[in-house]
Amino acid sequence: MFHESYLENPVSLHYRIHPSSPRTIHTGCDHRVHYTQGGGNMAFNPVQRAMEMESLVMKGERRKYYRFRYSLYYGGIVTADTVGCKFLCAYCWNYFRNLRPKRAGDFLSPEEVAERLLEISKKRKCDLFRISGAEPILGRRSAEHVRKVIELVNNTFILETNGLMFGFDPSLVDLFVNLNVLIRVSVKGWDEESFEKITGASGEYFRYQLKALEHLHGKVHFWVAVVYDLFREKGLKELEKRLPIPCRIEKEYLEMYP
Ligand code: SF4
């Protein structure tokens, strides 16, 4: 089953900032991430965007992927890169593919995805897996696709998600019960305002990220990750006050895009 060590001590991930990202966030350190959305009337409904996105990146049970690779994160992990997200985070390293997912990738069935992952796994002697580049869980069809990939690779899978749809629809959590999966929930703010600035989505939807933690609790192994450059100690403390249950929090750091 899963390696407890990933829960206790996952290697911190680094977000890469694309230099031509059109949005700006001041991080309080050397980084400056660009954004023009994420305030006032321009904020969007991320649940609606998730549904629209799912219809663009899913065809039946096939999902769009544009790359398969071995990555050094987590001490080595076989990675499938997909497209399509309900947020438009200012620091997203895959910002433009997620903005226009129609142009990127090919539709692949869970069997095709698992086959490519297992090929790399064999070559690199690595039995840890993940999906990256976008949000894996956009609704039921994409969640069922991910569940099938996890079953087929039949080894430890780290599901990196922003968790919004687990908060919106608790029945999606049940798809991942009793699987060899660890869920890493990237929480995008410490309150409604910071959430809106970071994601471009309306602040009122922040509550679904918190709800997700409640829904996962006791069913699936998970932890919370935050971008510390944006949160700093103040944001972290504010988030701790809002967490519905005690959670381990991993700090991750921004990294300039090469
Ligand atoms: S949630 Fe992740 S994939 Fe989606 S826009 Fe933000 S950083 Fe990119």
Domains and CATH numbers, the chain: 4-256 (3.20.20.70)
- Say if strands 32-34 and 221-227 run parallel, antiparallel, or are unpaired: unpaired
For the whole prediction, is pTM greater than 0.90? no
Q: Rounded to 5, what percent of the chain is helix, strand, coil?
A: 40, 25, 35
**Length of the chain in residues, anyone?**
258
Specify the pLDDT at position 23. Answer: 54
Backbone angles phi, psi at 162, to 5 degrees: -90, -5
Most informative mutation of 34, 88, 92, 138 for ligand 1 (most atoms within 8 A of CB): 92
Cα of 85 vs centre of ligand 1, distance in Å, is 6
Nearest C-alpha to atom 2 of ligand 1 is from which residue? 134
From the alpha carbon of 88, which atom of ligand 1 is closest?
5
Mutate to test the pocket of ligand 1, among 34, 162, 198 (most ligand atoms within 8 A of CB): 162
Does residue 86 register a pLDDT over 90? Answer: yes
Confidence band of 14 (pLDDT split at 50, 70, 90): very low
Q: Look up residue 11 and give its DSSP letter.
A: P
Pocket test for ligand 1, best of 87, 194, 205 (most atoms within 8 A of CB): 87
> What confidence category does residue 60 fall into, taking pLDDT thresholds of 50, 70 and 90?
very high
- The residues, any chain, with a CB within 8 Å of residue 90's CB and separated by 6 or more, are 21, 23, 24, 25, 33, 34, 35, 38, 197, 198, 200
Report residue 255's pLDDT band, with 50, 70 and 90 as the boundaries.
confident
The SS3 of residue 41 is helix
Runs of H (alpha helix) within 172-222? 192-199, 206-216
Give the phi and the psi of residue 73 in degrees, each rounded to 5: -60, 155
Measured CA to CA, the distance from residue 127 to residue 15 in angstroms comes to 23
Strands 156-161 and 181-186, bridge-based pairing: parallel
Short-list 192, 73, 180, CA closest to 133? 73
pLDDT(30) > 80: no
CA–centroid distance, residue 229 to ligand 1 (Å) = 16
Nearest to 220 by CA among 157, 249, 172, 177: 177
* Ligand 1 atom at minimal distance to the Cα of residue 135: 3
What's the sign of the alpha-carbon dihedral 150, 153, 156, 161? negative
> How confident is the model over 189-224, as pLDDT tens digits?
999 999 999 999 999 999 999 999 999 999 999 999
> pLDDT of 135-152, one tens digit each?
999 999 999 999 999 999
Distance 87 CA to ligand 1 centre (A): 6
Question: Which of 41-45, 90-94, 172-176, 184-188 has the lowest average pLDDT?
Answer: 41-45
Interface predicted TM-score (ipTM) of this complex, two decimals:
0.98
Predicted local confidence at residue 7, as pLDDT? 38
